[in-house]
Amino acid sequence: MGTVSRTENGDSDVCRRCSLQGPTCCRIAAGQEEFCFPVSPAEKERIQELVPYTGGFVLSPNSKAFIGHVGRLFPGEEAFVRELFPEGKEHFRLAVDSMGACRFLGPLGCEIPREVRPYYCRLFPFWVVGGDVTFFDSPTCLARREGRTLIRILDSLGTGRASVRDLYGRLRLVWGLPPRKGAGRVKKSF
Ligand code: SF4
Ligand code: SF4
């Protein structure tokens, strides 16, 4: 893992430069709110203890499109995802303003200490599929655009495969998924 310079809030330099150029991963396009990742009660409570901020989260319906979107994150585990997010019920997600910016996004970046942010935020742009670390082909991510290969993107964000796997495992636990694909049943979390 390479050593990267970090901003005051712990973000990599590439993320600081990304925020000067474009929307970053902390903003979504209008109308895309349905596809925001869910925030589990455990993550929400942990954030609210440190950053008591009213309006940071909103309830969002478990729509067909949302369930399908989350299901694609966990290939082969779509049935678990449907159990976690029954259609007609709701889940919490991060609230965004009228410009699509996360409510926790301040002038100097995320206002939540890095180690307390939702696991999905801490993982992005990385993910794990079939035990392999991979990355989302996000056109807005400067680390992805500059790095192009997994190893270089990991390096520019100052992380490595082991850290990504660890965060991904933690995300699965707080979201209520079995620790590994095929291991046991879901624990109701949302
Ligand atoms: S919680 Fe922080 S890192 Fe996550 S989307 Fe909001 S501002 Fe970005
Ligand atoms: S993770 Fe990617 S999209 Fe998010 S701020 Fe860093 S460079 Fe930008």
**95-145 pLDDT per residue, tens:** 999 999 999 998 888 999 999 999 999 999 999 999 999 999 999 999 999
| Residue to probe by mutation, ligand 1, list 7, 94, 103, most atoms within 8 Å of CB | 94
> pLDDT at position 3, please?
62
Give 91's strand partners.
Answer: 60
Instruction: Locate the domains of the chain by residue range.
Output: 13-175
Tell whether ligand 2 has an atom less than 6 A from the beta carbon of residue 121. Answer: no
Tell whether ligand 1 has an atom less than 6 A from the beta carbon of residue 122. Answer: no
| Residue to probe by mutation, ligand 2, list 6, 7, 13, 14, most atoms within 8 Å of CB | 14
| Number of other CB atoms surrounding residue 149 within 10 Å | 10
Q: Kindly report, residue by residue over 147-189, the tens digit of the pLDDT.
A: 999 999 999 999 999 999 999 999 999 999 987 777 777 777 7
Tell whether ligand 1 has an atom less than 6 A from the beta carbon of residue 104. Answer: yes
- Does the global pTM surpass 0.85? yes
- On the question of pLDDT at 1 being above 50, the answer is no
Residue whose CA is at the smallest distance from ligand 1 atom 8: 26
- Any residues with CB less than 8 A from the CB of 54 and at least 6 apart, and which? none
